[in-house]
Amino acid sequence: MESFGARPVEPDAGECRLGDLIVIPKYNTALFKFPLQTTRANIVDYDVRTWITPMNQDVGAGFYFSGWGPLPFVLGPVPPQRYLMARVLQPGR
């Protein structure tokens, strides 16, 4: 996403602007609560055209977090990747 101009958001760094699109992947670690007012979020699924995944709780792959599964990666069909998307309504930190 960064190659298309997106930038990562840190809990205490940078300010979000009105209209910014916030995208949160379902399979993620170190999540934090956004103190921003946003529009109703949409959930988007993207098909993955691969037969290997290191991070997917649905199939037991937890390379970066063993709480998601006993395997460092999984070979086999990978379910669609899910993302939560919302627009910022009220700018803030």
pLDDT digits (tens, 9 = 90+) for 18-70: 888 888 888 777 777 776 777 778 899 988 888 888 777 777 777 777 677 77
pLDDT at position 31 is: 73
* Claim: this prediction has a pTM higher than 0.75: no
Measured distance CA(36)–CA(10) in Å, rounded: 13
Pairing state between β 81-90 and 37-38: antiparallel
DSSP result, 55-79: EEGGGTEESS-GGG-SBS-EES--P
